Amino acid sequence: MLELLKNKRISTSASFIVGAALIGVLGACSSGSESADESTESVWDKVQEEGKIVAATSGTLYPTSYHADDSDELTGFEVEILREAANRLDLDIEFSEMGIDNILTAVNNGRVDIAANDIDITEDREEKFSFSDPYKHSYGSAIVRSDDLSGIETLDDLEGKKAGGAATTIYMQIGVDHGAEEVIYDNVTNDTYLRDVENGRLDVILNDYYLQSLAVEALPEIDVVVHPTLAYFPSIQGIIMKKDETELQEQINSAINEMLEDGTITELSQQFFGGADVSQEPDVEIEEQ
């Protein structure tokens, strides 16, 4: 069992499935409501005046943003990165917990200043938002049944398989693109997903390798595994902010790069990811998508 799990009881309501790998930036981000903040003041100017930065995160995505059962305090890999970055910028930080579907909209309309929730940096998003330099490198994997790997060896074997997850994820889209049948879930717990693979209601769950590995290890009584050879969709994650907030981006990057250089992010990664250093590119062959 992971060292982290020995020290903290993790609520099964912390989800690893729905993450922040949202397709594009969601239709809500293109609505007229985004222009609500008409101020010409930069976000960095506002943050400095107020002495605090407001960050959106879900509070339900283990191990990046969650609540342990024995504490009401928000914690997690990216939560602690945000706290430390704010500290290095001499700012207080206020967390605004919200559902994944609302995070990008809240950044875009100025309701929050920044956000972090395992948010993939993609070309499409970079057209609409600014990002910090990446601090997490990962790739897609698959949770399958232990006895036969659900009959899946490659992504092409997803044809006709039942893939479970949220509708608006990059991983679900990859499954659909390879012929999988969507089985959509609405904010259910990890054990529900895994048991449905075990009992055959699902064949596969596609998502981030590190998140899936932790989920399977946290629920060893369920007879599923992370696929031993399937690796696809290389990804990088970072802090997201409103487009063209150059000074804010520079300040955040300064803090992030300091933390990468002095080993702080490596230490946080090893704490929350069972000894793994997600700040480094994984040494595996990953199929491009």
Provide, rounded to the nearest whole percent, the portion of the chain with pLDDT above 90.
70
Cβ within 8 Å of residue 201, ≥6 positions away: 162, 164, 183
pLDDT class of 287 with cuts at 50, 70, 90? confident
Residue 281 lies in a domain: no
* Domain carrying residue 9: 3-135+238-272
CA-based R_g, the chain, Å: 19
Residue 125 lies in a domain: yes
Task: Please write the tens of the pLDDT for every residue from 189-243.
Answer: 778 899 999 999 999 999 999 989 998 998 999 999 999 999 999 999 999 999 9
Q: What is the DSSP letter of 30?
A: G
Residue 162 sits in the same domain as residue 194: yes
Residue 19 sits in the same domain as residue 97: yes
pLDDT at 187: 59
- The sign one gets for the Cα dihedral 145, 149, 154, 157 is negative
* Residue 3, pLDDT above cutoff 60: no
* Residue 31, pLDDT above cutoff 80: no
pTM: 0.81
Go through the chain and tell me how many residues it has: 289
Residue 131 sits in the same domain as residue 260: yes
Cβ within 8 Å of residue 46, ≥6 positions away: 39, 113
Q: What is the mean pLDDT of residues 37-58?
A: 89
DSSP symbols for 200-227? TS-SEEEEEHHHHHHHHHH-TTS-EEE-
Residue 226 lies in a domain: yes
pLDDT class of 288 with cuts at 50, 70, 90? confident
In the structure encoding, which two tokens stand for residue 5, read together? 């799990």
Residue 129 sits in the same domain as residue 256: yes
Residue 72 sits in the same domain as residue 203: no
> Strand runs (DSSP E) across the chain, as ranges?
52-57, 66-67, 74-75, 92-97, 114-115, 129-131, 136-145, 162-165, 181-184, 204-208, 224-226, 232-237, 240-242
Residue 284 lies in a domain: no
Residue 124 lies in a domain: yes
Residue 114, strand partner residues: 55, 241
Are the C-beta atoms of residues 120 and 237 closer than 8 Å to each other? yes
Q: How far is CA 238 from CA 33, 40, 102, 233, in A?
A: 25, 25, 17, 16
Task: Please write the tens of the pLDDT for every residue from 70-96.
Answer: 778 999 999 999 999 999 999 999 999
pLDDT class of 6 with cuts at 50, 70, 90? very low
pLDDT at 129: 96
